[in-house]
Amino acid sequence: MPRPTVAIVCPREFKFTDHEASVERPVLGDVAELTTVWLDFNAPFPAEVLGADAIILWHGPRVTAEVVAGMTRCRAIVRNGVGFDSVDLAAAARAGIPVCNVPDYGTEEVADHALALTLALYRQLFPLDAEAKRLGWRINVQHRMRRLSTQTFGIVGLGRIGTAAALRAKAFGFRVVFFDPYAPAGAHKALGIGRVGTLGELLATSDTVSIHCPLTAETRGLIGEAEIAAMRPGAFLVNTARGDIVRKAPLFAALRTGHLGGAGLDVVEEEPLRTPEEAATPNLIVTCHAAFCSPEGMVEMRTTSARIARAAVLGEPVWNRVN
């Protein structure tokens, strides 16, 4: 009998993995044949992927209902990361294919990145860096700098990363509050932070709003024109979750008018930035969807996804199922 196959699907422009599957092979090599497939974002899935017994899917290539319909032997799709919005969950469920993610690999990194963006905004690191490199010494941005203990750090989504961000913000002296209708009762008491009942209350009372919810039909466009207008004048917005949760046009408009004091974005709607005008938006810090990155986190993520794929091809129960 031929051995089962596991296809590792990676976007061509990002060399996230290696052809040798050096992390996955020690986990899977004794039970399955491994192949690494590099795809352009909109390229069709080749036969070696559609015919695989399990698929490890990096961020980028989209598994639509049509792609699912072509999968002849798939026992699991493992999203190599936290987000799973690139997979048609309902179509996979109808086909009896579990979709799993790796929700815990980058918790520390993403929370650290959110606080790094926040601190860069509060301490105005980039304007001060530019001034010092002009060989100047004027502190033109001092009016933007605040004592953290006087500020409220508002979190949207108190999952693993939101919780880690809350603890970090609390350690820096922020007053921390969160909005999450799905968090269990008493979560705020366990963490020693505040809870608000509505998104509107969080926006109106927070000096910084940090996004930590998943991208779903419910949260797509959650922060739009009305929500940005409801934020405090001069407030900061930080997003290390998914770009499509925050509408880009009203956010950039609010930065240009000065309604918002700044934004720190690791992700943007329709990423990456598209025009020089977008890149020139004032008081904007943007990083390259890199909050999850660290050698340690990448090894942890790839090992976990390989372990889930191993269970799938062996006919054992899988975990972290999202459909």
pLDDT in tens, 228-285: 999 999 999 999 999 999 999 999 999 999 999 999 999 999 999 999 999 999 999 9
Q: Could you tell me if 31 and 168 lie in one domain?
A: no
Q: Could you tell me if 75 and 27 lie in one domain?
A: yes
pLDDT in tens, 98-130: 999 998 899 999 999 999 999 999 999 999 999
Instruction: Indicate the length of the chain as a whole number.
Output: 323
Look at residue 82 in the predicted model and tell me its pLDDT: 87
Catalytic residue annotation:
242, 271, 289
CATH code, 244: 3.40.50.720
Looking at the domain assignment, is residue 319 inside a domain? no
Q: Could you tell me if 169 and 256 lie in one domain?
A: yes
Please state, in angstroms and rounded to a whole number, the distance separating the CA atoms of residues 12 and 89.
Answer: 24
The average confidence (pLDDT) of the chain is 95
pLDDT in tens, 187-217: 999 999 999 999 999 999 999 999 999 999 9
Strand order in the sheet with 77-79: 33-39, 5-11, 54-57, 77-79, 99-100
Q: Could you tell me if 128 and 269 lie in one domain?
A: yes
- Count CB atoms within 10 A of the CB of residue 26: 11
Cβ atoms of residues 107 and 97 within 8 Å: no
Longest pairwise C-alpha distance within the chain: 74
Q: Could you tell me if 111 and 249 lie in one domain?
A: yes
Output DSSP code: residue 241: S
Domain count, the chain: 2
Cβ atoms of residues 244 and 220 within 8 Å: yes
Q: Could you tell me if 253 and 265 lie in one domain?
A: yes
Look at residue 168 in the predicted model and tell me its pLDDT: 98
pLDDT in tens, 57-98: 998 888 999 999 999 999 999 999 888 989 999 999 999 999
pLDDT at 41 over 80: no
Q: Could you tell me if 180 and 247 lie in one domain?
A: yes
Look at residue 12 in the predicted model and tell me its pLDDT: 81
Please state, in angstroms and rounded to a whole number, the distance separating the CA atoms of residues 87 and 99.
Answer: 8
pLDDT in tens, 73-83: 999 999 998 88
Q: Could you tell me if 76 and 123 lie in one domain?
A: no
| Domain encompassing residue 143 | 107-286
Q: Could you tell me if 267 and 198 lie in one domain?
A: yes
pLDDT above 90 covers a percentage of the chain that reads 90
Q: Could you tell me if 53 and 192 lie in one domain?
A: no
pLDDT band at 13 (very low <50, low <70, confident <90, very high): confident
Look at residue 15 in the predicted model and tell me its pLDDT: 66
Look at residue 43 in the predicted model and tell me its pLDDT: 86
